[in-house]
């Protein structure tokens, strides 16, 4: 695990920018912060049944971050989303899904998220050793031209039968298919809860109009924050979202509802404050926000992963879901990178801003 001094060294001249910032628009006192009793504090009085509480407890209580209120999940469904050859050519071992599960176990992750096929092939061997999260829907890559739609690949009961503690799903908010996806996944989440499974929603924005010549608003804090709010509305237990890189999506794209005072009152341009707006849209942190680690860029991966973890933790988020930066490198290096991320959440000197 990385020590505080190692983390400071990794951040370089950006250390103070990320580690000393204090959020003043939405303060940490207004949030439900992750801790050892997070599941009970949030869900004990909810409509989630005891089996779902147990599933959530299994997820939060596993791996190196167990009983901290934080999550580190290994997600590998890129073989469907980005093509298997493109995803695994840097490390062909991961064509065999057993190595995906082994990486999650070896790195001490809270859980492993993958496809019906990948997890189903090894369910009897590993479902009792690490929490399984079955990704229910995907954007398959072979339709031409690609439609960027999310289609369901299996049934909730199949995931339950293989011993999964949770299902995951994606909605492309802003796309022309989003209304169908919203209805589809709301019904799916209700079924999962009835069986006692937890639910994780990949809350992505997707619309060609969200990207202009000047800015890509797919990762704007206001648009992604609203996607999060729709996600918790259909009773996602955990929200997965990309880290915000900008703001003013509604204003600059001239749609939806916005007011200048809304931006001034809720956030600043600091990355931690932008992420805090995402957390606020998850019922002020009562539904855990896990940010994604993004694609692998090589030498900068470690610094980027640590930075993302710091932004998420200091914003009041609940962890990181990191895949390509880990599995697109040798096994030992992947484990070390994941451990470095976990070190951020275990380091008590890195506090909520």
How many structural domains does the chain have?
1
10-residue averages of pLDDT along the chain (353 residues): 84 97 98 98 97 98 98 91 90 94 98 97 98 96 86 96 98 96 98 98 97 97 98 98 98 97 98 98 98 88 96 98 92 95 97 98
Answer yes or no: is 208 within a domain.
Answer: yes
Longest dimension (CA), the chain: 55
DSSP H helical segments within the chain, as ranges? 4-11, 15-19, 38-43, 50-60, 78, 84-88, 97-106, 116-120, 123-126, 156-161, 178-195, 221-233, 249-253, 260-266, 271-280, 301-315, 324-327, 331-346
Which pLDDT belongs to residue 247?
Answer: 98
Which pLDDT belongs to residue 1?
Answer: 47
Q: What is the CATH number of the domain that holds 260?
A: 3.20.20.70
Answer yes or no: is 150 within a domain.
Answer: yes
HSE value, Cβ hemisphere, 13 Å, CA-based, for 201? 32
Answer yes or no: is 175 within a domain.
Answer: yes
Answer yes or no: is 351 within a domain.
Answer: no
pTM for the full predicted model: 0.97
Please report the sign of the dihedral spanned by the C-alpha atoms of residue 48, residue 132, residue 129, residue 331: negative
Answer yes or no: is 120 within a domain.
Answer: yes
Q: Which of 2, 102, 240, 325 is catalytic?
A: 240
Answer yes or no: is 195 within a domain.
Answer: yes
Written as six digits, the tokens of 94 are 């991961």
**Residue numbers of the domain that contains 86:** 4-346
Determine the 3-state secondary structure of 116 from DSSP: helix
Answer yes or no: is 352 within a domain.
Answer: no
Which pLDDT belongs to residue 309?
Answer: 97
Which pLDDT belongs to residue 243?
Answer: 97
Which pLDDT belongs to residue 148?
Answer: 82
Answer yes or no: is 353 within a domain.
Answer: no
Does 240 qualify as catalytic in the annotation? Answer: yes
Q: What is the DSSP string of 299-315?
A: TTHHHHHHHHHHHHHHH
Which pLDDT belongs to residue 59?
Answer: 98
């Amino acid at each position: 695990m990385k020590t505080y001094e190692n983390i400071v060294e990794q951040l370089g001249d950006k250390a103070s920018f990320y580690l000393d910032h204090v959020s003043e628009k939405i303060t940490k006192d207004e949030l439900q912060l992750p801790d050892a009793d997070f599941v009970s504090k949030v869900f004990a009085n909810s409509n989630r049944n005891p089996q779902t509480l147990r599933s959530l407890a299994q997820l939060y209580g596993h791996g190196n971050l167990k009983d901290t209120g934080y999550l580190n999940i290994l997600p590998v469904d890129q073989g469907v989303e980005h093509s298997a050859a493109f995803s695994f050519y840097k490390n062909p071992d991961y064509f065999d899904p057993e190595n995906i599960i082994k990486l999650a176990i070896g790195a001490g992750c809270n859980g492993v998220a993958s496809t019906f096929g990948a997890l189903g092939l090894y369910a009897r061997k590993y479902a009792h050793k690490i929490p399984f999260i079955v990704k229910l829907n995907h954007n398959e890559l072979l339709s031409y031209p690609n439609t960027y739609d999310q289609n369901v690949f299996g049934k909730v009961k199949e995931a339950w039968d293989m011993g999964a503690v949770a299902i995951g799903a994606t909605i492309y908010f802003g796309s022309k298919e989003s209304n169908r996806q919203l209805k589809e996944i709301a019904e799916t989440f209700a079924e999962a809860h009835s069986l006692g499974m937890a639910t994780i929603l990949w809350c992505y924005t997707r619309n060609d109009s969200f990207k202009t010549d000047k800015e890509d608003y797919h990762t704007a804090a206001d648009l992604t924050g609203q996607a999060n709010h729709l996600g918790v509305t259909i009773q996602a237990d955990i929200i997965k979202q990309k880290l915000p890189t900008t703001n003013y999506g509604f204003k600059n794209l001239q749609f939806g509802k916005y007011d200048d005072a809304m931006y001034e009152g809720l956030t600043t341009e600091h990355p931690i404050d932008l992420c805090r707006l995402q957390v606020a849209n998850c019922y002020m942190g009562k539904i855990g926000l896990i940010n994604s680690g993004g694609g692998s860029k090589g030498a900068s991966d470690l610094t980027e992963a640590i930075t993302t973890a710091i932004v998420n933790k200091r914003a009041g988020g609940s962890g990181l879901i990191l895949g390509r930066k880990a599995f697109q490198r040798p096994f030992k290096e992947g484990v070390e990178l994941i451990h470095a991320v976990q070190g951020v959440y275990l380091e008590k000197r890195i506090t909520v801003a």
